């Protein structure tokens, strides 16, 4: 069957590659049951290019204008070796200005300047990880009051489902009041002290991934992982200007959720095991779109509405989920309606089957009796409101009397039905 790396290379073929980042790790942790995303991310496949081949292109990600604005704002915050960032740390963390006025400013990443000589290339990922580890160790060993080192674009490794991801936070402030703080610089505005809830939640999930990776690196260096604070410094433009402002994000909840979900992710080897040998997503264009659809369909997906904001294959998976049925008519998978409805339906995975149970056309399986009663009651109320004739509900089979049990008069279903009061007429009947 070959090694894991060779199988991932075979799946990827000549498709464009894209490495893990905090966004992809947070998205994968948010939907741990999606084997398709796990395989795609482990193989490093650019899902935007694959979605185009499948016929479901998706305009996913930031616009070029937002990216340029974000880079310009980040450069403004970090200019003069982080002098502006130090001022923000002083204000938001409530520490004396002298505690953050001095310290090393280590540039550990960033793009190579356009006028750089050809030999001055950007270091490789493992080289940057080693540089980050060295700078972090140097800072922790030489820690003293009044000194705050700032690591610009460190690179942190994180093992996700058996494969290694490399994460690059915007900055990291070392040992402010004895703690390490991740700094996240975003280009969305904070207006009158408030920000867009969706963007704020996304920033918190990404920051939780950074904190988790940083804690693992600190533990490898032999220090207590709790030295990394769960208070993340968020830097954004203030109101309608480009003036930076800082706030504290408490990501304890997001960190616990991310840690638990990453631990539950299936290993890549387990995801690859059921796939047929020789499977590849790099289907020749002359083979047609259906060949690519069949290849991707070999890996099961777990589509949720939230995938529309986190995954480039969301349109394809949504169409696939809506087209699935188990012989009970159209409707698709329940997951396409959201996790809340899927939880309410208690294990019924097909929308058509749920509707058939509500109409009385399909008998519920063992353990589905309660949700069947709820569905039939909801269908009866819907028909009553619309003035439709209710369908003939098949009579319920009375439970068998266990051997040796004594039958008591007036306790069976027929006696209960006879003793039941007459139903009250509905409002429309009056």
What secondary structure, in 3-state letters, does 268-327 show?
Answer: HHHHHCCCCCCCCCCCCHHHCHHHHHHHHHCCCCCCCHHHHHCCCCHHHHHHHHHHCCCC
Which secondary structure element, helix H or strand E, spans residue 166, and what is its range?
A: strand 163-167
Q: So what's the pLDDT on residue 415?
A: 43
- Taking the whole predicted model, whether its pTM rises above 0.75 is answered as no
Using alpha carbons only, give the angle 164, 304, 359 rounded to the nearest 5 degrees: 150
8 Å CB contact between 343 and 374: no
**Residue found by looking up tokens 């690059």 in the block:** 168
Identify the pLDDT of residue 280.
Answer: 94
Give the dihedral of Cα atoms 6, 213, 20, 59; nearest 10 deg: 160
Q: Given the DSSP bridges, would you call strands 244-250 and 163-167 parallel, antiparallel or unpaired? A: unpaired
| Cβ atoms of 240 and 189 closer than 8 Å | yes
CA atoms within 13 A on the CB side of 271: 26
The whole-number pLDDT of residue 268 equals 85
DSSP per residue over 225-276, as a string? GGGB-SEEEEEEEBTTSS-EEEEEEE-HHHHHHHHHHHHHSPPHHHHHTTSP
- State the Cα–Cα distance between residues 239 and 241, nearest whole angstrom: 6
37, 45 in Cβ contact below 8 A?
no
63: how many CB neighbours lie within 10 A of its CB?
9
**Each residue of 241-291: pLDDT tens digit?**
889 999 999 999 999 989 988 887 778 888 899 999 899 999 988 888 999
Tokens 């959201």 -> residue = 338
What is residue 291's predicted lDDT score, i.e. its pLDDT?
93
Q: Which residue positions in the chain have pLDDT lower than 50? A: 1, 111-120, 395, 397-430
Which residue reads 């690859």 in tokens?
A: 272
**Bridge partner list, 233:** 183, 248
Residue 180 pairs in a beta bridge with 228
Three-state DSSP at 106 gives strand
Helix-strand-coil percent breakdown of the chain, rounded to 5? Answer: 45, 15, 40
Segment 355-363 long-range contacts (CB within 8 Å, at least 24 positions apart):
355/328, 355/329, 355/331, 356/328, 356/329, 359/391, 360/391, 360/392, 360/393, 360/394, 361/391, 362/328, 363/394
Residues 301/317, Cβ–Cβ less than 8 Å:
yes
Give the E-state strand segments of 328-401 in sequence order. Answer: none
| Torsion angle defined by CA atoms of residues 43, 44, 50 and 51, in that order, rounded to the nearest 10 degrees | 110
**Cβ neighbours, 10 Å, residue 204:** 20
DSSP annotation string for 325-337 = -SSS-S--BGGGG
* pLDDT given for residue 306 in this prediction: 85
How far apart are alpha carbons 195 and 201 in whole angstroms? Answer: 10
What is the reported pLDDT for 326? 61
Residue 143 CA neighbour count, 13 Å, CB half? 14
Q: What is the largest CA-CA distance in the chain?
A: 97
């Amino acid at each position: 069957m070959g090694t894991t790396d060779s199988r991932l290379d075979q799946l990827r073929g000549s498709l464009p590659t894209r490495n893990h980042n905090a966004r992809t790790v947070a998205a994968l942790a948010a939907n741990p049951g999606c084997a398709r995303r796990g395989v795609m991310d482990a193989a490093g496949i650019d899902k935007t290019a694959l979605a185009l081949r499948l016929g479901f292109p998706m305009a996913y990600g930031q616009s070029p204008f937002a990216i340029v604005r974000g880079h310009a704002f980040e450069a403004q915050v970090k200019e003069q070796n982080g002098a502006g960032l130090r001022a923000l740390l002083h204000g938001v963390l409530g520490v004396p200005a002298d505690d953050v006025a001095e310290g090393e400013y280590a540039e550990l990443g960033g793009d190579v300047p356009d006028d750089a000589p050809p030999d001055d290339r950007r270091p490789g990922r493992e080289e940057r990880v080693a540089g980050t580890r060295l700078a972090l160790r140097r800072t922790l060993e030489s820690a003293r009051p009044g000194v705050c080192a700032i690591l610009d674009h460190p690179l942190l490794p994180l093992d996700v489902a058996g494969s290694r991801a490399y994460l690059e936070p915007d900055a990291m402030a070392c040992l402010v009041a004895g703690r390490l703080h991740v700094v996240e610089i975003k280009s969305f505005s904070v207006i009158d002290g408030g920000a867009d809830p969706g963007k704020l939640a996304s920033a918190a999930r990404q920051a939780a991934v950074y904190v988790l990776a940083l804690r693992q690196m600190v533990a490898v260096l032999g220090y207590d992982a709790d030295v990394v604070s769960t208070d993340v410094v968020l830097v954004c433009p203030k109101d309608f200007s480009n003036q930076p402002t800082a706030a504290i994000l408490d990501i304890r909840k997001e960190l616990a959720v991310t840690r638990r979900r990453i631990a539950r992710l299936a290993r890549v080897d387990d995801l690859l095991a059921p796939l047929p040998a020789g499977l590849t997503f790099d289907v020749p264009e002359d083979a047609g779109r259906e060949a690519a659809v069949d290849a991707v369909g070999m890996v099961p997906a777990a589509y949720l509405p939230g995938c529309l904001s986190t995954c480039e294959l969301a349109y394809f998976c949504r169409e696939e989920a809506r087209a699935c049925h188990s012989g009970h008519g159209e409707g698709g998978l329940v997951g396409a309606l959201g996790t809340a409805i899927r939880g309410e339906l208690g294990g019924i995975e097909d929308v058509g089957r749920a509707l058939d149970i509500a109409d009385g056309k399909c008998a519920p399986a063992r353990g589905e009796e309660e949700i069947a009663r709820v569905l039939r009651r909801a269908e009866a109320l819907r028909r009553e409101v619309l003035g439709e004739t209710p369908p003939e509900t098949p009579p319920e089979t009375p439970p068998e009397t266990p051997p040796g049990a004594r039958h008591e008069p007036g306790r069976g279903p027929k006696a209960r039905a006879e003793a039941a009061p007459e139903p009250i007429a509905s409002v429309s009947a009056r």
